[in-house]
Structure 1
Amino acid sequence: MQNVHPHDRKQLKQAVSQAVNTGQEYQIHYRLLLGDSTIRWVEERSGLWRDPDGLVLGLMGTVVDITDRRLAEAALKESEERNRTLINNIPGAVYRCQADQNWTLLFQSEAIAEITGYPVDHPIHQEDWRLIHAADRDRVDREITAAIARRQPFESEYRVLHADGQIRWVLETGQPITDSTGTVQLIDGVLTDITRRKESETQLQALVRRQGLINRISTQIRDSLELMPLLQTTVETVRSQLITDRVVVYRFKPDWTGEVIVEDCEPNWRSTLGEIGMDNCFPQGLADHYAQGNVRKIPDIYHAGFDTCHVQYLEKLQVRANLIVPILLKNQLWGLLIAHECRAPRQWTIEEVELLRALADQVGLAIGQADLYQQATENAVRARQQSADLKATLAELQRTQSQLVQTEKMSSLGQLVAGVAHEINNPVSFIDGNILHAAEYAEDLLKLMAHYRQTYPAPPASLQKVIEEIDLDFLVEDFPKLLESMRIGAERIKKIVASLRTFSRMDEAELKAVNLHDGLDSTIMILQHRLKAHGDRPLISLERYYDDLPLVECYAGKLNQVFMNLLSNALDALDEQLAADQQSEPPKLEIATALLTSHEVLITITDNGPGIPTEQRQRIFEPFYTTKPIGKGTGIGLSISYQIVTEQHRGTLSCESKTGQGTTFYITIPVQQGTP
C-alpha cells in the first residue's frame, strides 16, 4: 500500500474492504509511485481467494499498467475540448444532420441557444422546422432540397421564432456530404444571426425612400419657382406616403387668422379648402408652440383635452386624429402642414413625424425661393424704368437667388450622400472587423489540420477518401485566398464611402489645403452611373491625366460644386447628342491637371460632344441663361461656378469650343489664396 499514490489510498482501501464484506470482485484505477519517482497508472481487478471449503485465504487478481491508455484518453479529451471551443467560437451555430425526411439532428454547437433562445439540448431542436417562420418554410425546404439534389452547397436567408417571441433573421449555409455511392447522407452547415444586418438594411431602405421623396421635392424646388404647384405636389405626396384621408397646408395671416390654401383629400371626406380657422376655439399659446418648431401629434381628438368648441369644430371637418408640423420662413411661423385621419384614431409614428418635418423644411425653402423670385421679378420691372444702378441691384439679387438655389441643391445632395455613406459604413465596418478574426480562426484550424496530418500521415481509408472527395489540399490553399478577397472587397467599399464623404464636404466654410484630385475623383464617383452603357446608349469613356500637384488652398466643397456642374453639363451634352444619333465618334470625357507655375494650377474638362455655338458661348456664364428645355435646368450652374472660381478663389474659368468637335473648360486656381 505504501507504493500507492497518497491521494488514491483511501479509494483503494474502500474497494478492498467492500470486496471482503460483500464477497464481490472489484475494479479500480489508481496511481503507483515507483522508485525513480515516476508515476504509473494501473488497473486492478481482484476478488476473494478461497479454499475448496470456501474459507477466505486472501485476495487474488491482476494489475495492468494503463499509463499509456490514460495519457491517450487525456490527450483525446483535451483535443475534443479544444475542437469544441473552436466550434463554439466560430460566428454562428455549427450543425450536422442526416439527409433523411426529418433532417435528424446529429450535432449542433452551443451558439444555437443564442440564436433561438432554446438550450442546445432542448427537444425542439429535433424539429427545428417548427422554429422557421411559417411564411418561409416552403421556400427554405425547396432551396435546400434542390441543393441536395444537385449535390451543391446552399445558402438561404429566413426568419426564425425566438423563445422570447421575437423574430430573428438567420443566414444558413450548408454542404451536402455524400457516401461512396454518391448518395447524400449528411448535411453540414452553419446558422448565422443576421438580424442586425437586416434591421440596418430595412432602416437604410426607409432612409433612402424618405431621402428620395425629399429629394424629389427638392428637385421641384430647384426646377420650379411657382409656389402653389409645389405645395399641391407636396400634399399629394404626403397623403400617398402616409395613406391618410386628408393633407392640407394652412397659411397664417398677419393677424394670426388663416385659411387652408392647398388640399389633397380622399373623395369620401368633405373638402376643407378655403376653410378659415376659428381662433377663439384653439388652445391658447399654440402659435408660440408652433413658432418654436414644435410638432403636435393628436392620436384621438376625444382624448386630447380640447375645449368643447374645438372638438365640435374638428368634428365639423370630420377630423378624428391629426399630425401638425409648422412651416417656418426665416425662423418665422408661416403656416402649418397638417395630416388628417378622418375614419378612426391613429398613432402617428416617429418616421411619419420626421417625414413631415423634413418636407415642411423643404416647403419653407420653396416659399423663401418663391418670395425671392417674386421680388426679383418686381425689381426687374422697376429696373426697366430706372437707371443702371437699379439694373445692377437686380443683377445682384438674381445672383443671390441663383446662389441660394444652387447651394440648396448641392447641400441636399451632400446631406444625402453623407447620410447614405454613414449608413453603409456601419455594417461594412462590422464585416471588415470580423474578417480578421475569421482569418485567425481559419489559420488556427489549418495549423491544427496540418499538425494532425503530420502526426498521422496515413489516415484510415475512409478518412482518406473524404479528404480526396473534398479536395482538402485545394481547400487549405484556397480558403485563405477567399478570406483575403473578402477583405479586399470590404476595403473597396470603405474607399467608396470615403469618396462619398469627400464629395459631401459642402458645409466647409474655411480655406483648407486639399488634394484637388480627391475632389475630382469623388465627383466622378457620384456621376459614375451616368458613364455606364444602358439600353442603346454606349459607354462614355473617361480618361484622367493627373499631374503631380501640391496641396491647393481652397474651399473644397465649393470646388466640388464647380466640378459637378461642369461634368454634369458635359454628360448632358453627350446624352443629347447620342439620343439624336448625331455622335459620330465614341463619346469621351477627359480630365487633366497641370502645375502651370509654382503658384498656379490648371484643371481642364473636355468632351467630344456637339460643342457650343459662338453666340451661345458668349453668354454661358450669365445668370439664368440656359439652352436646355424648360424643366431641365435653371441656367444658374455655370454662373455660380464662375463666381466660385473668380471671386472666391481669385482664379479664372474660360471655355473653348468648336461646333461638332467638343468643348473644353479651363480652370486656373492659385496654390495659395494669399499669393499676390
Structure 2
Amino acid sequence: MQKNTLNQTQAAASNRPLRDQQANFSVVFLLQIINSTKEPIFVKDRQHRWVLLNDACCNFLGHHREELIGKSDYDFFPKAEADTFWERDEVVFTTGITNENEEYFTNALGVVHLICTKKSLFEDETGNKFLICSIQDITKYQQVEAELRSSRQLLQLVMDNIPQAIFWKDRNSVYLGCNQKFALVAGVGASENIVGKTDYELAWQREEAEWYQECDRRIMESQTPEYGLIETQLQADGRQRWVETNRILLHDHGGNIIGILGNFADITIRKEAELALQELNDQLEERVEERTAELRRAITRLEQEIIERQAALRQRTLVENQLRSSQQLLQLVMDNIPQLILWKDRSLNFLGCNRNFARIAGVNSPEDIVGLSDYDLPWTKEESDWYRECDRRVIESGIPELHIIETQHRSDGKQYWSDVNKIPLRDAHGNVVGILGTFEDITERKRTEEALTQSETKLQRLSANVPGMLYKLIQQADGSRSFPYVSSGSYELCGLTPEEIIADAKSIILLIHPDERPGFELSLAMSARNLQPCLWEGQMILSNGCSKWVQSASRPEKQADGSIIWDGLMMDISRSKQAEEALQQAYVQLETRVQERTQELALSNAALQAEIGERQQAEAELRASQQILALLIQQTPVAVIEWNTQFEVQAWNPAAERIFGYSSSEVLGCHFEFLVPEGAKEQVKEVTADLLRQQGGTLSVNLNLTKDNRTITCEWYNSPLIADSGEVIGVASMVLDITARKQAETQLKQQAEDLATAIQELQQTQMQLIQSEKMSGLGQLVAGVAHEINNPVNFIYGNLDYANNYIQDLVRLVKLYQQNYSGTLPQIQELAADIDLEFLIEDLPKLLKSMKIGAERIRQIVVSLRTFSRMDEADMKAVNIHEGIDSTLMILEHRIKATPTRCTIQVIKEYGNLPLVHCYAGQLNQVFMNILANAIDALEESVVNKKITDQPQIYICTQLVKPNQVTIRIADNGTGIPEEVQPRLFDPFFTTKPIGKGTGMGLSISYQIIAQKHGGSLECISQPGNGAEFIITIPLSQK
C-alpha cells in the first residue's frame, strides 16, 4: 500500500529525535496549527482512506487517530451514510471542484449530528491526489432556530390574548401583521393571512379604506402619533361599530421610521350610552312640560275643593288616620331602601336619616341622630372634616354633587366604600335650607374594580405601547417618597420625563391642583394605613398652564423594612370628566328650569294655600307622598314585594315581573315557595319564621327560580311591617338580580388566576432559558480550555522520555570521563564543585520523575474538564455516573481544600457497581454541581458560625436499588435545613442566600431535570442540627 507523503512527514516528525527536528521545523509548526484549530479537519487519499486527521476531528468521530489512519467510511459508519460520503468525495476527486454540503453524521456513540462540510482537491508535486475536508457542527444552530420559532409563537399568543385589536404596517401602509382580534374584525380569519394586504383588500368600505390610508400618510409626514381618534368602522360581520384608535410610528434601532403600529378598542356601547343619555334628557324635558300641565290642572281641582271644603271637613278624622298610616308606610319604605339616606340643616347638624344610616352611624334609631354632627359619629376627624367640607361646598354653591366615591367607618370600626350623592334642600322660595345625602355601599364593587385594575396592570406590562403612565412609588418609614420606576408615558401625560420624576418625586405631586392635593394625600395615607388599593382622580395643572383630569390606581405592598411600595397606573380621563361636567351642567340647567316653574306656580297658589290651611296642606303632602311612593315602587329597578304573615304575595311591582317573569295577576295570593328551589325550601321556612319574630331587617343572597325555570342569584332585603300596636302585619322585601355580577366576579377571579399562572410560567421559562444558555457557554469554555491545555501537555509529556534518555546518556558520559580522566583540569574541577555535580547527577532523575507526575496530574484534570464539558450536549447517551461525579468534584476541588477559616472538607465516596445509565449527561452534571456547591456553602456557613466542631464531611453513595433504577445520595454534616424552608426548597426564585449570591433557580432547575427530563425523583431529608441529604433516583434507561 502506497503511503501518503503528509502521513510520512507526520510519523517522522513524531519519532525523530529532538536534535533532528530543527531541520523540519516548518512541517511540525504546520501540524501544530492544524491540531490547534477547533474545527475538525481530515485528509483522504485517492482510495478514500484517511491519511491525516487533527485532534478535533478524532474527538468528533469518537475514535483514536491510530484506529482511523488507513481506514475508510465503510469501517465506521452505516452503509447509507458511507455511500453518501463516498459519492460526494468521488465528485471532488473527478471534477476538482470544491464542494459544500449539509449532511447527517453518526459518531461512535450513536449520536446523530447535522454537519456542514467543505471538500476540496489537493495534488502534490508527484501527482498524488488528496481530498481535504473541514467540518462544522451546525446541530446547535438548528436548535436555536427551533427556540426562536417557539419564542415567536409565544409572542403571538400573548398578542392574541390582548382584548384590543392590534396591527402594524410598513411605510407603504401594507400590513406586516396583527393579532387574532384584528384578524376577526378585518375578516381574514387567521392573523397570518393579513400579511401583504392593504386596507382596500379588507372588509372596510372604500371610503373607510381611503380614510385609513390618509391617516397613515398624515402620521408619516408629521411624524407625530395620534391618540384617541373616534371613528366608525364596518366590520367583517356587516355591523357598523364605533372604535377609538391610536396610531404611533415604528422605529428601528437606528431611529429610522419603518412603519406604523396601531390599536383600537370597540366603544360602541359607550357611544350608544351617550345617545341614550341624550334621548333620556329629551324625555325629561317632555316630563317637565307634562308636570307643569298637571300642576295647572291641580290648581283647578284645588279651587273646586275649596267649594267642597265643608264636605271634606267631615272626613278629616278619617284622613288624619290615613295620614298616620301613610307616614308609617313611608318611613318603612325609607328604612327598607338598601341605600343610606340623611338630611342636615345649614349648620350641618343632622335633621334625620333612615334606619340603615342609623345602624352604620352607631345610633339606636333615626330619631337619636337629630341634632348631632359628624364629630359625634364614629368617623375619624379627617373623615368628618372632609364630609363637612363637601357639605359646605354644596350648600354654598347650591349645586348638587353626584356619585362621589369615598370611604367611611362603621360603628364597629370597619371601613367601607360609598357612592355618595349630595343635593341642596330648598324651601318654597328657592333658598338652600339644608342638604340631602344618599350613600350606597359599593365596597364589593370597589374590590372587584381593584382586582380588575391589578389584572389590567399585569397585562399592560406586556406592552410598552399602552397609553398612560406605569409607576412604582416607594414611601419610606420616615415618610419620604421616591419613584424608582416611571414608564415613558409620563411625558405625554404630564409633560415630565421619567428621569425628571425619578430624580424629584415632588415634581409630579406639585402638578396636582391645590384643591385636589389633600384628597390625594388622604387616599395615599389611608392606603398605607390599611394596605388597601389606592384609587384617586383629580386635576393636574401642567407647566404650560393647561388643566388635565387624571386617574391613579395602585396597590400597596408593605416591605420588611417598614417601607411601602405602590405599583400603579395613572391615566388621562379628561374626556370622561368633560362628559360628566357637560351632563352636570345640563342637570343644573334642568333643575333651574324646574325650580323657576315651581316658583311661578308657588306664587300663583300662595293665596290658595293659605285658605286651605294646615290640615289641607297635610292632605296634599299625604297625596304627594303617596304619589311619590307609588312612582318609586313602579319605576325602581329593584323588585318590591309585600307579603302577609302567611307569606302570600300582596303586592308585586313591575321590576319583580321583569326579574322573575310572573305578572302581578299570576302571583297575587301565592305562597313564596314558587320562587324557592326544591332543596332550599325547609331552610327558607326557618328564615321566614325568624323574620316574623324580630324587629329589624335581614340582608341575604339566595338562589331563586324564574317562570322559565332558570336559577338566578338575588340579593334580598326583608323587613317586617309593624302596626302602631306593635303587631307584625306583614313583610316588605326588596330584591335585586345580581346573577350577572356574580358571574362577572367568578370570571374575573378565574382570569386573574390564569394571568398570574401565565406570568409565573413565563418568568420560569425565561430563567430556565438563561440558565441553559449560561451552562452551555460554560461547557464550551471548559471544553476549549481542556483542549488548549491538552496540546502543550501532550507535547511536554511525550518529550519527557527523550529528555530522560538524553540525561542518562550525558550522566554515563560524565561518569566515563571521571573514570578514565581522573586528573582533570582545575577549571573543570572548580565548575563541578560550584554546580555540586554529584548532587546534580543524583537529583536530576528525581526532577524528571516529578515533572512526569505533574504532567499526568494535568492530564487527569483535562479528562475531568472534558467529562464535565458534556453539559451542553442535547442528546441522551449511556454514560458512567461515577465519572460525572468525579469530574464535578475535580472542578470543585479548590473549594474542598482547606482555607484560613476551616480545614479540608472530607469527601467519602461509596460507589456501587453501576452499569452505564442512559441520561442527559451534561444536565445531570449540572444537578451534581448545584447540590455539591450548596453542600459546600452549608458547611462553610456552619464552620464560620461555629455551629459544628467536627471535621466537615460530604458523603456520596450510589447503588442499584431496583433492576432498572439508580439512586445517588449526597449528604453533609452541616446544620441542616430549617423545617419552614423545606416545603419551598424546589420553588422557582426561592433562596435563603444574601442578595447577589443566589438566584433561587439552582434546586428548581435540578428538580425539573430529574423529574421532567429523566422521569425520576429528587427529595431532601433534613433535620436541624443533623445535616441534609439529597436523594436522586433515575431509571437506567428512558422509554
Q: TM-score, normalised by structure 1?
A: 0.41
Higher relative contact order (CA 8 A, sep 6+): 1
Q: TM-score, normalised by structure 2?
A: 0.28
